[in-house]
Amino acid sequence: MRALLLLSVVVVMAPVRSQDASLLPGLLQELRAAENDTLRADALARICFNLIRTDPDSASLTGGQALQLAKKIGNSRALGDAHNNLGWLAAEQGEFERADSLLNIALGIFQKIGDPKHTSVTLSNLGWLTEKRGDSVGSVELFQQALRLSEAAKDTASSSILFYSLGVAYRKIKDHAQSVAHLQRSMAFERVLGRKGKEANCAVALANTYKQQGDTTAALHAYAQATGLYRGLRDHQGWGITEENVGDLYLKRSPRTALAHYRLALAQYDSIHSVLDKAYVLQRIGSTQVSLGDLKSGEASLKEGLILSSGSGDPQLSTDYELAFAQLFAKKGDGDAAVLHFERYVFLKDSLQGADTQRELARLRTAFETERKEKDNAILRAENNEQQERLKRRDVQLYGSLALGLLALVAAILFFRHYRQKREHARVLEGLNQRLANSNAEITEVNGLLEMKLLRSQMNPHFIYNCLNSAAQMTQAGKQVEALAYLQGFARLLRMVLDHSVSDTVRVRDEMEFLCQYLKLESQRLEGLHYEVTADPELLDDEAELPALITQPFVENAVWHGLAHKQGERTLKVRFSLKNDAVICTITDNGIGRTRAARLKEESNAAHASLGMQLTSERLKLLSRRLGEQDAIRIEDLADVDGIPNGTRVTVDLG
């Protein structure tokens, strides 16, 4: 849990220079005492760098002043520093395009003046920017370039940090051997340099790599090294986070040992009055106590942590606490309270997901608008250049006509040239119209993708509502044990839904696993339900994909409209097959058929329409429109030899 948090703490090592806000008084004194613009520009650049994390607005202001002053005096070194620091500020604020532009300008300046040390710093910053963009392979290449320059400059301190950066990047791409080798080298350098804090950070990063490898023994040894270093430095936060990570490592195989380490972490956080850290570890302590059956202590820990978390403004932490309380009350047998907290957990989870979705939509809109404006500007520039050229040619024609005295031959030549230019202009206009049509097609495609994302985001709350309603019905019926088992199964199903909901497509094998988990839950509610989920072997071998969360509403419809009212054996078969390079899903049940189901619905005065089926139909319409297909859903009524309804078969063409 907190390994990632610690990574965010030690990632301060990312830029080869370390930011330190405590240096500001001295830097301000240097600025006031500066005797020339070169010294003032250097002081302003360093002030900008050391304010990036603590006061980004002031960092932007001083960085801009450093840039203007560097341009005024024409100092290349100061100009490169200003661009480099402003670029890293943009990267920290998530403005990746601006950061890339500024850092590349700085890189060009330092390469031109032949400064390997500053070139290495800028390459390192570009490496971390590439990592922030999710390109771990690209970041490795940039870190390697920076390391070669740093070693050439014999800058051991910078080389050590770059070895650390490479170790973290290699872990991201699962190259554990390289990660361990680079982190060990960084740790050895830091030990020689006497930088105990950075040595401890390297030990934690090394432990995280061993943990990812599954080498628990090596991970514990590295965590122990980090603990010893943090203890010697009296770095209580680093010590506490390390103990928390050790607790996470022990959690599954020895909860009591994990609990002991969590309590050690709590003691460290308490000594420095770190409210947020205490809230995080109290959630882990409470959940572990509940899992060990100590419900009273677990509830007390969770309540204490919840009070601390309420003032943190951390929505993810509040979400974790609601889930922990749901598990606590489920263990206590208080189904109503368990469902209440679980509903809050789902609501907070949906809110976080909704905010992420809106940010992604805003990003897509911004990117699209930017691209469109760039295209429009390019067209306008081309038209302007063409207009200027046309005016020049007309001037030449006018002067020629006057010089030749408006002779007939010259007039004929000018007429022919004018006619040819009109044809050329018509051809250019036709090309511009074609580009406009292509842009409109791109707009339509983006709108279609956004519409599909919005439809799919509406399906998750509908599905969650149905499952929570089922759990609530079990609880109201007094089936506390069954409700707990159902909630545990549903938690796994919800995890799968959340995993699937972030992608447009999923593998067929993942969709089959999801449907099996769903039908397993439904079989607990509907006695006598037998189900079978199969697929053609080639679909599994080829890792075929289909639209995410597309088949479950059909299966749900078959269970509750076709099989729920049937007496005797209930059978449901789901088959994924390959036909004409398209994935076909067939859902077959031996239920009461659509006619009888409609009659029962009318007799019961049921007026509720299936939101899941409606949303799924709309998604399939969008898919059909994009793929150029029709009749994506086909429904057949089945009957026995006597013509009596004997179930329904639904065939869905998933493209």
**Element containing residue 334 per DSSP (H, E):** none
pLDDT category, 462, cuts 50, 70, 90? low
Confidence band, pLDDT 50/70/90 cuts, at residue 202: very high
The CA distance from 517 to 494, in Å, is 10
**Average pLDDT for residues 329-348, to the nearest whole number?**
90
The pLDDT score that the predictor gives to residue 454 is 46
**pLDDT: which is higher, 551 or 465:** 551
Residue 473 pLDDT: 81
Query: Does 505 have pLDDT greater than 60?
Result: yes
If you average pLDDT over every residue of the chain, what do you get?
82
Structure confidence by residue, pLDDT tens digits, 577-599: 988 888 999 999 999 888 888 88
- Segment 184-209 shows an average pLDDT of 92
How much is the pLDDT for 568? 83
Q: Which residue has the higher pLDDT, 525 or 176?
A: 176
Q: Are 283 and 291 in contact (CB under 8 A)?
A: no
Beta bridge partners of residue 507, listed in sequence order: 545
Q: Quick one: 552 exposed, middle or buried, by C-beta within 10 A (0-12, 13-18, 19+)?
A: buried
> Would you say residue 648 has pLDDT above 70?
yes
- pLDDT band of residue 616 (cuts 50, 70, 90) is low
First vs last Cα of the chain: how many Å apart? 39
The per-residue pLDDT for range 534-574, each reduced to its tens digit, is 999 998 887 788 888 788 888 988 888 888 888 888 999 99
Per-residue pLDDT, averaged over 409-414, amounts to: 84
* Res 312: pLDDT: 67
Nearest CA to 128 among 232, 210, 11, 270?
11
Number of Cβ atoms within 10 Å of the Cβ of 634: 12
Residue with more model confidence, 6 or 575:
575
Answer whether residue 183 shows pLDDT above 90.
yes
What is the pLDDT confidence band of residue 30, given thresholds at 50, 70 and 90?
confident
Provide the pLDDT for residue 285. 94
Question: Domains of the chain (ranges plus CATH)?
Answer: 14-114 (1.25.40.10), 315-495 (no CATH), 503-653 (3.30.565.10)
Q: Rounded to two decimals, what is the model's pTM?
A: 0.51
Specify whether the CB–CB gap between 26 and 51 falls below 8 A. no
Distances (CA, A) of 477 to 235, 300, 471, 473, 483: 54, 29, 10, 6, 10
Assess whether pLDDT exceeds 80 at residue 220.
Answer: yes
pLDDT for 227 equals 93
Of the ranges 13-22, 280-289, 549-558, which one carries the lowest mean pLDDT score? 13-22
List pLDDT tens digits, range 160-174: 999 999 999 999 899
pLDDT at 588: 96
Instruction: Report, as an integer, the average pLDDT of 41-60.
Output: 83
Output the pLDDT for position 572: 95
Q: What was the pLDDT predicted at 430? A: 84
Q: How far apart are CA 529 and CA 301, in angstroms?
A: 42
What pLDDT does 493 receive?
84
* DSSP assigned state of 114: T
pLDDT band at 177 (very low <50, low <70, confident <90, very high): very high
Q: How confident is the model at residue 446 (pLDDT cuts 50, 70, 90)?
A: low
**Residue 114: pLDDT band with limits 50, 70, 90:** confident
**In sequence order, which residues have a C-beta less than 8 Å from that of residue 130 and are 6 or more positions away?**
138, 139, 142
pLDDT score at 12? 39
Question: pLDDT (tens digit, 9 = 90+) per residue, 65-93?
Answer: 888 988 988 888 889 888 998 998 898 88
pLDDT band at 294 (very low <50, low <70, confident <90, very high): very high
* Lowest mean per-residue pLDDT among 331-345, 361-375, 544-558, 621-635: 361-375
Residue 361 has pLDDT above 50, yes or no: no
- Tokens 């074609």: give the residue: 434
Q: How many C-beta neighbours within 10 Å does residue 223 have?
A: 23
Q: Over pLDDT 90: what percentage of the chain?
A: 33
Instruction: With a cut of 50, say whether residue 531 has pLDDT above it.
Output: yes
Q: How many CB atoms lie within 10 A of CB 650?
A: 20
